[in-house]
Amino acid sequence: MRSLEDLDVAGKRVLVRVDFNVPLENGEVVDDARIRAALPTIEELRGRGAMLVLVSHLGRPRGKADPALSLAPAATRLSELIGAPVTMAPGVVGEDVRRLTQSMGPGDVVVLENVRFLKGETDNDPELARSLAELADLYVNDAFGVAHRAHASTEGVARLLPSAAGRLLEREVRTLTALLEDPARPLVAIIGGSKVADKIGVLDRFIEIADTLLIGGAMCFSFLAASGHPVGDSLCAKEDIEHAKHLLAGTGTSLSADAAGNGTHAAAAARERARARVELPTDLVIATALDADAEHRVLDGVDVPSGWLGLDIGPATAARYADVISGAGTVFWNGPMGAFELEPFAYGTRIVAEAVAAAHGRTVVGGGDSGSALRHFGLEDSVDYISTGGGAALELVEGKRLPGVQARDGAGAAQSR
C-alpha cells in the first residue's frame, strides 16, 4: 500500500478523495467528525507545499445537482478548522473548475462540488474519471467510508494518476488487517445489530479466526431459531436461519442434532474450519411492539411467545458477555445488542459497551450504529479504535478486496514499472 511519503507532492496539485458526507441542518454542519478525520492528511499535504483539490460526496443527490446537498457548508467548516481560506469550486469538473485549480498556489485548498451531482460518479464513468484526473497531478484516497465502492472518484481516477492512501484510509486498513492477522488472544467478536444478511460474511470469517463469538441484537434470533427455539415476532428471516444452522453445525455449540443438520457433508466441512465458540443469549427483554411505551418484560429463557418480540439481550446474558469481554486479548464489536435507541431496550448494549470500554485487551469497533451506541453512552474515548467506515470495515473484515484500496495499488504498480 503506497503512503503519502511515497509521493513527491511539493508544488503539485493533489486531488484528495475525502469523506465529507456530514449531517447538515439549515445549511450548517451539525457534526464535523468526518471533516476532522481528514485533517491529518490535509494538514500534512499543505505542510509539504501541495495544492489541494478535495472531492467528496454528500447525501444521495442521485446524479442531479441539489443545492441542499452542496459541499459549501463543509468547505466553510474546513476553513475554520485549518484556519486558512478554502475556496468552493463552481462545480465538480469542467472549464471553470479547471481554471480555478490552475490558479492555485502551494498550501491552497479548493473543495469541488458534491461529486454525486454527476451520474458518472456511481457509474464509475471513465469520462468523469478523466475530467477529475485533469484537475491534478497526483491522487490521494482518504475516504475509507466509500472504499468498498468502485466509483469514478475512488477507483476510476486512481487508475489515471500516481496514487497513494491518505493517513485515515491507511490507518483503517492497517488496524483492521492487524486485527485479523495477528490478534492478541483470546479474540472475542461481538456481533449484533439488525442487518443480518450484510453480516453473514463477517460471521463466517470470525467463526474461523475468533476464539469466542458473542451474538446479540436481532442477529441472535436466527441462531435461536436455528437451535429450535420459537422467536415470536422477533426480526428473523428464513434465509438467515439456514445460514445460522450451518454456522452452528461447525462449532461446539450445543444444539439438537436434527436442527444442526449434523452428519451432513456441509456440517462436517463447517466443523473443520470452525474455531470459535458461539455464545447465544439465555435471557431476553421482550415487548409487544418496537416502541418505548409498549408493554415489556425480562424473559428468563429464550422461547419468545407469539405476540411478543425480542428487543434486547437479558441482564444475565449481558453480564455473561461482559465477563467474556473482560478476559479478551482483542475485542471486535459490530452491531448493538438491542434496540438501544429506546431506553427500555438499551441495557444490554450499555453493559456490553461498558465492558468493551473497560477491557484490558485491544478494542476495535466497526459499524455505524455501534459507534453511535458508544457515543450515546459517552464511552467513545475509552475504546482503542472506532472505524469510520461501516460497510467498508465489514467488507475488509470479511476478507473482500476493496476497490478504493485495490485501484490505488494498481496505479502504484503501473507507475513503478
Interface with Mg ion (CB under 5 A): 368-369
Shortest Cβ 220–ligand ADP spacing (Å): 7
State the Cα–Cα distance between residues 285 and 340, nearest whole angstrom. Answer: 12
Q: Residue 166 or 367: which CB sits closer to ligand ADP?
A: 367
Q: Residue 291 or 384: which CB sits closer to ligand ADP?
A: 291
Shortest Cβ 333–Mg ion spacing (Å): 13
User: Which residue is closest to Mg ion by CB?
Assistant: 369
Q: Are 107 and 51 in contact (CB under 8 A)?
A: yes
Q: Residue 145 or 217: which CB sits closer to ligand ADP?
A: 217
Q: Residue 75 or 147: which CB sits closer to ligand ADP?
A: 147
Shortest Cβ 340–ligand ADP spacing (Å): 6
Task: Indicate if 307 belongs to the active site.
Answer: no
State the Cα–Cα distance between residues 218 and 236, nearest whole angstrom. Answer: 7
Residue 48: CA count within 13 A, CB half-sphere = 18
Please give the C-alpha separations between residue 376 and each of 308, 327, 342, in angstroms, as whole numbers: 27, 25, 11
Task: Indicate if 250 belongs to the active site.
Answer: no
Q: Are strands 109-111 and 87-88 parallel, antiparallel or unpaired?
A: parallel
Task: Indicate if 60 belongs to the active site.
Answer: no
Among Mg ion, ligand ADP, none, the one that 163 touches (CB under a kind-dependent 5 to 8 A) is none
Residues making contact with ligand ADP (CB under 6 A): 193-195, 217-218, 235, 310-311, 334-336, 338-341, 367-370, 390
Shortest Cβ 147–Mg ion spacing (Å): 17
372: Cα separation from own chain's centroid = 12
Q: Residue 35 or 219: which CB sits closer to ligand ADP?
A: 219
Active-site residue identified among 13, 17, 34, 167: 34
Cβ-Cβ contacts under 8 Å for 238 (sequence gap 6 or more): none
Q: Residue 155 or 369: which CB sits closer to ligand ADP?
A: 369
State the Cα–Cα distance between residues 404 and 412, nearest whole angstrom. Answer: 13
Among ligand ADP, Mg ion, none, the one that 403 touches (CB under a kind-dependent 5 to 8 A) is none
Peptide bond just before 186 cis, omega within 30 deg:
yes
Cβ atoms within 10 Å, residue 414: 12
**DSSP 8-state assignment for residue 184:** P
Shortest Cβ 238–ligand ADP spacing (Å): 17
Q: Are 219 and 199 in contact (CB under 8 A)?
A: yes
**DSSP 8-state assignment for residue 231:** B
Among Mg ion, ligand ADP, none, the one that 183 touches (CB under a kind-dependent 5 to 8 A) is none
Shortest Cβ 313–ligand ADP spacing (Å): 8
Task: Indicate if 171 belongs to the active site.
Answer: no
Q: Is 119 helix (H, G, I), strand (E, B) or coil?
A: coil
Active-site residue identified among 130, 368, 375, 410: 368
Q: Residue 238 or 417: which CB sits closer to ligand ADP?
A: 238
Shortest Cβ 133–Mg ion spacing (Å): 33
Residue 160: CA count within 13 A, CB half-sphere = 22
State the Cα–Cα distance between residues 318 and 141, nearest whole angstrom. Answer: 40
Length of the chain: 417
C-alpha cell recorded at residue 111: 473543495
Q: Are strands 284-287 and 309-313 parallel, antiparallel or unpaired?
A: antiparallel
User: Which residue is closest to ligand ADP by CB?
Assistant: 193
Catalytic site positions? 34, 195, 368, 391
